[in-house]
Chains A and B, each alone.
Chain A
């Protein structure tokens, strides 16, 4: 199980997993973080730029992976830069996946306990979440990808409905003037998108499972474009409703957008609970993929059984998520992960690819 990857997923499955991996808790805070950084309503351009940048860095990762068909990064990194460095790098990346998983579960805890299930202890929620994830990951990559495919129609429909309804409070003037402050602030808004767009890293192991790894580039492009569209919609609608001055005052701007209107004469009057419930499923997918990645990395680096690694990492994920003392620490943790992602997946793959080329490793 651990040495050779036997499970296979199709190109579509891989794409859907990409989309599900990228769409996560970030959407709830993204409108605020980008506006805080840039201060203009043009941040939707920043989000698009962020998507393009993440696609470019992802392309390098795809090229790197295609040199080693059927192998994950944890397996081939030692062939490029030697065993000690390769193992170290693999560990760092597995640790990164672990942190992403912890971040997601803590965010979902914060939001749910605050808005949805006041009075329910957060551990009760986290336990249900983690145990289900463990059960799912034990089923292998195919089980995870089927889960993703199952929830996609539900989350997309609900997201679309909620977005359309929020047009009720939308005011286009809040988004104007376009580029009134020039391009400078737009660039400043790109960096905070790195956490939400942590995309390429999933390809480090996803491509190894693909039945047609040659199509990995398509997975990357489609898998990044769809979430970019979601994020742009969320940012545009939230700023349209709250204005730039208002967005920065909201802790969870996207949820507050859904909370700021009521609909008469439709089955539901309010949609925030519905969106939140659906979005928990979305976050669950990201959690599972990240958790799977961390366990896979650990098992391949240490040459241990995959299932044992899942069980070993289970308490670690929970402990990391519980160490975070406050909401500010959670946001700082998120920013930290984003910075980490820029270094690990923005800057590092290119030198690795060049070294692999120079040393003529791979096909």
Chain B
């Protein structure tokens, strides 16, 4: 009798405990992988919907484009057939980003879910007119969306960035993965996740966002957009080479290329970066603040066109090191110049260095730091080590 009871309980447990209260099969979900936010610009589909009565009260401010993945069969595409498009974009124009998401529930049977959102691209035009913290409020608050979502800015229309891709690829994934190339190219800014940006926006600190541009079906990471902390709006742009300078100033790069020309012979000299680091030292004398940027790097010759010398020769290497150091200084200087005299913001962390080294001085200047920074002298100390010359000891003729 007792045994029967035990067996019954166990059987009941098997049935009752194995279920999941609110489960939904993965193939019935519309997985959001990317979002593009633009200033209001309705698509044709939307215009027709509206004409036919599919409209609701809203201020037309933002066009949200959502990218969904189309689940592929386990076997992939049949042999011989061209790879089909495996994503689907839908646009909703309105003022509430959340309302726009829920509006999709009128347009498709599968509920959109945000667990796998990777990237939010914001159009430059929208970023210029709207505080970023308003745009990301929903993304930072929702329970499905994770703070690891990356933010980017697009010089053109953000929607186009998500619609262009080579066959078989999903644009959002490609964009996310390009950030991993930071060890191959020093013109990529560190990925900016929601987790990082909430603090910057709340602390009213200026910051950079990776910029992406498109041409035809391809895109390219190109420079970075500058967001002013006080307003949270887009105010300008660092181009590729200025971003490279920024990477040197902050020491955030992990690899890449540094190119210059031999001053005597006007021959190309390319250096592959192995490592870089930077320390910004603040100096305070009385009321005068100044900064010294201490950049260190080591790497190897990648391409050398100048002929005649032996790379094994110490004097030769030292001369090349000096040439490269000058190039780094030039890059850094032009970036800091642009920050100080054109954009009037500090996005390189000079303020942080001052805060860490002289907390009491920082308290006095922090209110209007972006403006104060524009007047502060910055000097550079660059130390570069050419450690290796690759497999050829002698240069090309």
Cβ-closest chain A residue relative to B141: A251
Interface string of B18-42 (1 = CB under 8 A from A): 0001100000000000000000000
Give the B-binding residues of A (Cβ under 8 A).
114-115, 117-121, 124, 169, 173-174, 176-177, 180-181, 241-250, 256-257, 259-262, 270, 272
Complex CA gap A262/B359 in Å reads 34
Collect the chain B residues with CB atoms within 8 Å of residue A169's CB: 193, 195-196
Q: CB < 8 Å: which of B147, B196, B349 contacts A259?
A: B147
**Contacts A124-B21, A173-B352, A177-B356 hold; do A260 and B147 have CB atoms under 8 A apart?**
yes
The CB with the most chain A CB atoms within 10 A, among B147, B200, B355, is that of B147
B359 with A246: CB separation less than 8 A: no
Q: CB < 8 Å: which of A119, A242, A257 contacts B199?
A: A242
B148 with A262: CB separation less than 8 A: yes
Q: Please name 23 pairs of A and B residues whose Cβ atoms are closer than 8 Å in the assembled complex, sorted by A.
A: A114-B143, A115-B143, A117-B22, A118-B22, A120-B21, A173-B356, A174-B199, A176-B356, A177-B356, A181-B359, A241-B195, A242-B196, A242-B198, A243-B203, A245-B198, A245-B200, A246-B203, A249-B140, A250-B198, A256-B147, A259-B147, A260-B147, A262-B146
> Knowing that A173-B356, A241-B196, A256-B147 are A-B contacts, what are 6 other residue pairs whose CB atoms are under 8 Å apart, sorted by A's residue number?
A119-B21, A245-B202, A259-B146, A260-B147, A262-B148, A272-B146
Q: How far is the CB of B329 from chain A (nearest CB, A)?
A: 24
Give the A-binding residues of B (Cβ under 8 A).
21-22, 140, 143-144, 146-148, 193-196, 198-200, 202-203, 205, 349, 352, 355-357, 359, 362
B147 with A244: CB separation less than 8 A: no
B198 with A180: CB separation less than 8 A: no
Complex CA gap A241/B196 in Å reads 7
Complex CA gap A259/B362 in Å reads 32
Chain B facing A: main interface SS:
helix
Q: How far is the CB of A314 from chain B (nearest CB, A)?
A: 21
Complex CA gap A266/B144 in Å reads 22
Cβ-closest chain A residue relative to B194: A260
Complex CA gap A117/B20 in Å reads 9
Cβ-closest chain B residue relative to A182: B359
Collect the chain B residues with CB atoms within 8 Å of residue A250's CB: 198
Cβ-closest chain B residue relative to A272: B146
Complex CA gap A249/B194 in Å reads 12
**Contacts A177-B359, A248-B202, A262-B148 hold; do A117 and B195 have CB atoms under 8 A apart?**
no
Q: CB < 8 Å: which of A124, A180, A243 contacts B359?
A: A180
B199 with A249: CB separation less than 8 A: yes
Q: How far is the CB of B195 from chain A (nearest CB, A)?
A: 3
Complex CA gap A256/B145 in Å reads 11
A245 with B146: CB separation less than 8 A: no
A244 with B199: CB separation less than 8 A: yes
A245 with B199: CB separation less than 8 A: yes
Complex CA gap A242/B362 in Å reads 21
A260 with B193: CB separation less than 8 A: yes
| Closest A-B pairs by Cβ, 5 of them | A246-B199, A119-B22, A180-B359, A245-B203, A260-B195
Q: CB < 8 Å: which of A114, A177, A260, A262 contacts B357?
A: A177
B146 with A270: CB separation less than 8 A: yes
Q: How far is the CB of B377 from chain A (nearest CB, A)?
A: 23
Complex CA gap A262/B200 in Å reads 21
Cβ-closest chain A residue relative to B204: A245
Complex CA gap A89/B194 in Å reads 49
Q: How far is the CB of B233 from chain A (nearest CB, A)?
A: 18
Collect the chain A residues with CB atoms within 8 Å of residue B140's CB: 249
Collect the chain B residues with CB atoms within 8 Å of residue A241's CB: 195-196
A246 with B21: CB separation less than 8 A: no
Cβ-closest chain A residue relative to B205: A245
Complex CA gap A149/B119 in Å reads 42
Q: CB < 8 Å: which of A118, A243, A260 contacts B146?
A: A260
